Amino acid sequence: MKTAILTSESSEKHITGDGHPEQPKRVVSIIDTLKKNKELLWDKPGVVPNDILNMTHSEDYINNLKDSFPKSGLNFLDGDTVVSPGSKDAVFQAAGSAISAIDGIENKKYKNAFCVVRPPGHHAEKNKSMGFCCISNAGVAVNYLIKKYNYKRIACVDFDVHWGNGNYDVMYDNKNSLYISTHQYPFYPGGGSEKDKGKYNNSLNIPLPAGTNSEEYFNAYDRVLDKLIEYKPDYLIFSAGFDAHKNDPLAQFELSSKDFYEITRRTLKATNKFTNGKVVSLLEGGYDLKALAESANYHVNALIESENK
């Protein structure tokens, strides 16, 4: 079986305005790079079930979100989270990509999957959008795995340079998930200290200072691997942000493009014997287009090389 890329034209129709860092060119740059790889399957997102949305976010929030998309122009949900007429399909298909990726793996259509979608999701809390994000796509994935397929131990590894406060919030009291984040600290959005452990000690936060280089990052990442081996997950979700890259304009880590291959490879090596290689990766941040495309390509190469144990 092959690695699948799930993407949709709707991701390019989510317009955020001139100068906004979370722009359609982000997915275009990744897709143009991945299209050169003949080892991949390509698929489209499906529909996210309402009951899964309402497990992940409050029903009031989802209803308000559905009413927030303008008929023309732009609507600011907060200072930096913007939606346009084309955003509705993009938002719900981004969440739907997690559903389709899981179904595809469960139905043995493909080995693992990377969802090249926008807007990202890891800042979206149960009751609010923020930080470019409207729905916690990783939270949707976790809840779908629990509800539809009865998974019991789902690990979400978030290597975006920003703390995924939304992922943390929607998984906070979920006994069947473990949320792990490495991130710059102190930094946007606030929070993400080692004291943030979740309701059931089901979260591990590894805050790192601005200027963290590759060696320092991987020394810290050993804690992620140790925790995963201890947890023995039966499924792995990546919140895959590539803004820890040294060229990213929104943060101050010093990772190289190839480091994202190594992050992915080491994580898969630690978990494949527990997950049987079942992995869904969801695009989060990354705002330098060249660095983003290179880093995502390295990430996908590690997914391609991954063996189902």
The secondary structure of 23-46 as a DSSP string is -THHHHHHHHHHTT-TT-EEE---
Q: How far is CA 144 from CA 33, 125, 140, 259, in A?
A: 30, 17, 6, 30
Q: Which residues contact 139 (CB under 8 A, 6 or more apart)?
A: 56, 57, 121, 166, 167, 170, 171
CB 97 within 8 A of CB 138: no
The predicted pLDDT at position 146 comes to 99
CATH code for the domain in which residue 11 is found: 3.40.800.20
The predicted pLDDT at position 101 comes to 99
Task: Please give the tally of structural domains in the chain.
Answer: 1
User: What are the catalytic residues?
Assistant: 123
The predicted pLDDT at position 82 comes to 98
Return the DSSP state at 252: -
- The pLDDT profile of the chain, 309 residues, written as one tens digit per residue, is 999 999 999 999 999 999 999 999 999 999 999 999 999 999 999 999 999 999 999 999 999 999 999 999 999 999 999 999 999 999 999 999 999 999 999 999 999 999 999 999 999 999 999 999 999 999 999 999 999 999 999 999 999 999 999 999 999 999 999 999 999 999 999 999 999 999 999 999 999 999 999 999 999 999 999 999 999 999 999 999 999 999 999 999 999 999 999 999 999 999 999 999 999 999 999 999 999 999 999 999 999 999 765
Whether pTM > 0.95 for this model: the answer is: yes
The predicted pLDDT at position 308 comes to 65
Q: Which domain holds residue 12?
A: 3-305
The predicted pLDDT at position 307 comes to 79
